[in-house]
Chains A and B, each alone.
Chain A
Amino acid sequence: MTDQSARASGPSPSPASGGWTGALRRRVVRALPPDKLLPDSQPSWVASWIYVFGVLTLSALCVVLATGGLLALKGPSWWHLSSVGRYINSLHLWSVELFMAFMVVHLWGKFFMAAWRGRRATTWITGAVAFLASIGTAFTGYLVQQNFDSQWIAGQAKDGLNSVGIGAYFNVLDFGQMLMWHIVLLPFALALLTAWHILLVRRRGVVPPIPLDGDGSGATEPDDGVAR
């Protein structure tokens, strides 16, 4: 029996084997076991409308990305001149409006329940940075409308950006550069941050309510994801 066939039919390899892919797999499964990654129940405190705004934000983001992808595929003549194009363009705008509104209500809720408790600081930070990335994405979206409104916004913004010294690298009067920021760089950053944020929510669990008589650290509260 060759070494290869012995390995295929023999006992399972030791935990340390498998090279870098095996090590990565073990690390990922340890951090996010399947029952944490895709839970089928949530703690009792999640039964409140305030917890719905996170998934509403995510749903609106899906519509934003889908309609934005369609606009990118079909081009400016389509979204300016055809009725379907104008409809998708409006859908893109209004899904962004809902996305930002839902995200801010989600932010208010998480701020007042101190959602960074219990080793959830990175979850909070990724959410906050995703919010900043969303503002940048929305801003560059307004800059690429190709109308007088976008020209006015760019004319006003350039002074502010020049005053802090980044106008040479982020030139709001350069339509091509702003379009690339809007449809490539910022959506890519936002998608990465959102995925990281959601995986952290799965890993650490939804933050429990602030206890009435506890220290409020969130570290000693039940966090097993079991419905009660």
Chain B
Amino acid sequence: MSAPLAAAVVVASVDLNHTGHYVHWGVIQISVANLTVIVIMIVLFVLALLLPFPKGRKHDD
């Protein structure tokens, strides 16, 4: 993906105040905004599984 195209995708996903940009893949058609949200959710899911959880205080009583 060229740099201007990548920049356009990022801008399109952030600035929602215009007609939506769409990605076509066969019969599948999805807006860049929705695709971005789905990708963020998948990244969140993977990070939640991989990142270590901070250890809490021990209850000695």
Instruction: Spell out A's residues near B (CB within 8 Å).
Output: 40-41, 47-50, 52-53, 97, 101, 104-105, 108-109, 227
Contacts and interface: CB of A to CB of B under 8 A. Distances in A.
A41 B45 CA distance: 24
Interface of B: 37, 40-41, 44-45, 47-49, 51, 53, 55-56, 59
B41 A47 contact: no
Contacts of B56: 47
A108 B59 contact: no
Contacts, number: 32
Contacts of A101: 37, 40-41, 44
A109 B55 CA distance: 21
Nearest to A50: B48
Contacts of A97: 37
B59 A105 contact: no
Interface of A is mostly: helix
| Most-contacted residue by chain A among B40, B41, B48, B55 (CB, 10 A) | B48
Nearest to B48: A49
A105 B53 contact: no
A32 B45 CA distance: 31
Contact of B53 (A41, A48, A104): A48
Nearest to A104: B41
A49 B52 CA distance: 8
